[in-house]
Chains A and B, each alone.
Chain A
């Protein structure tokens, strides 16, 4: 039982490049989330999904897109990376609001 896994762990991009971050969970959770963590700003919700085939915007969605084609996977895309998107990205999943289970994070640097 791996819980929540994220791929890749680290990535360096140049401005304007695109990439996709993959999140996978094996707990059969309905809800999945993408957050970014920046110094002094805590965790901010980018996009989330309440079930397979659904997505919704969170607090800071601009510059990102997501897809939830399978219940266990939640993809976060950056179409044209900007230095402001340098951050640590966390994926999480949950069955209820009692707690969310987080992945180990992806450290992204945009030059």
Chain B
């Protein structure tokens, strides 16, 4: 079963507008969430994270929102730039893990920002 789900395989936005990427999770033990960005032929790179004790975390143009009751998080990119075009992965980890820093990833969303 997919514990972390990104229901939109792709998203296309105009340069300068807002991009909103969504992620849902089912495991209530998850308490830390991350977003990774991946360009073709490269490994994923860490973008931004949020702990379950917060409902918002901001870093420059990137903001992550967490709604624990809905088990939903979203990544907002404002303003979007063509260089933001990449695959974005949502990931989650749980305090209850005895195995160290295991992450569970979503399927990814391909963001395309058009000039």
Q: Which residues of A contact B89 (CB under 8 A)?
A: 42-43
Cα A101 to Cα B42 in complex, Å, equals 12
Out of B43, B99, B100, name the residue touching A90 (CB < 8 Å): B43
Q: Would you give the shortest CB distance from A93 to chain B, in whole angstroms?
A: 10
Q: Is B101 an interface residue (CB 8 A)?
A: yes
Interface residues of B in 1-25 (CB under 8 A from A): 4, 6, 9
Residue-wise interface mask of B (74-115) relative to A, using a CB-CB cutoff of 8 A (1 in contact, 0 not)? 000000000000000101010000011111111110000000
Q: Which residues of B contact A31 (CB under 8 A)?
A: 100-101
Q: Would you give the shortest CB distance from A111 to chain B, in whole angstroms?
A: 21
Residue-wise interface mask of A (85-111) relative to B, using a CB-CB cutoff of 8 A (1 in contact, 0 not)? 000001010101111111111000000
Known: A40-B107, A42-B105. A97 touches B100 (CB 8 A): yes
Known: A40-B9, A50-B99. A97 touches B93 (CB 8 A): yes
Q: Which residues of B contact A45 (CB under 8 A)?
A: 102-104
Q: Is B70 an interface residue (CB 8 A)?
A: no
Closest to A98 in B: B49
Interface residues of A in 1-54 (CB under 8 A from B): 4, 30-31, 33, 35, 40-45, 48, 50
Q: How many residues of B are counted as interface, with CB atoms below 8 angstroms from the partner's CB atoms?
A: 26
Closest to A90 in B: B43
Q: Are A97 and B101 in contact (CB under 8 A)?
A: yes
Q: Are A42 and B107 in contact (CB under 8 A)?
A: yes
Q: Is A58 an interface residue (CB 8 A)?
A: yes
| Residues on A facing B (Cβ under 8 Å) | 4, 30-31, 33, 35, 40-45, 48, 50, 56, 58, 90, 92, 94, 96-105
> When A and B form their complex, which 3 residue pairs have the shortest distance between CB atoms, in order from nearest?
A102-B43, A97-B101, A99-B46
| Residues on B facing A (Cβ under 8 Å) | 4, 6, 9, 32, 34, 36, 41-46, 49, 89, 91, 93, 99-108
Q: List 26 A-B contacts (CB under 8 A).
A: A30-B100, A31-B100, A35-B105, A40-B107, A41-B107, A42-B89, A42-B107, A42-B108, A43-B44, A45-B104, A48-B99, A48-B100, A48-B102, A50-B100, A94-B101, A96-B101, A97-B93, A97-B100, A97-B101, A98-B49, A99-B34, A99-B49, A102-B36, A102-B45, A103-B43, A104-B41
